[in-house]
Amino acid sequence: MKKLIIMSLIATAASFGAMAQTSTTSPAPSPAPADANAPLPGANSFTEGQAKSRLEANGYTAVTDLKKDENGVWKGKATHGGQSVGVSVDYRGNIVRN
């Protein structure tokens, strides 16, 4: 009887370990893949700060002059790889160097 109880406990503990191994978590959101037609016009809900943060998270520094144009695309200037470049962030988060 003692062996049966011990075996049951081991089987139960092993099944909990298997469940923990198979559980999934959502990965952190990654940048949206660049669309071939980007920057896409549309109703952009990004604030200026969010557009700047998105650029900085993708390796751009010294982000300045961000302004939303008539197509809802944030446009400005930034430094990337030591070069000053024009940048755009569309409503999907696509980043385009101009």
Domain carrying residue 52: 48-97
Residue 29 pLDDT: 41
Question: Which of the 8 DSSP states describes residue 93?
Answer: -
Establish if 60 belongs to a structural domain: yes
State the pTM of this model.
0.64
Lowest mean pLDDT among 17-26, 31-40, 51-60, 87-96: 17-26
Total number of domains in the chain: 1
Summarize the confidence of residues 20-26 as an average pLDDT: 45
Residue 18 pLDDT: 46
Radius of gyration, alpha carbons of the chain = 24
Establish if 53 belongs to a structural domain: yes
Among the residues of the chain, which ranges form H helices? Answer: 2-22, 48-57
Establish if 72 belongs to a structural domain: yes
Residue 36 pLDDT: 79
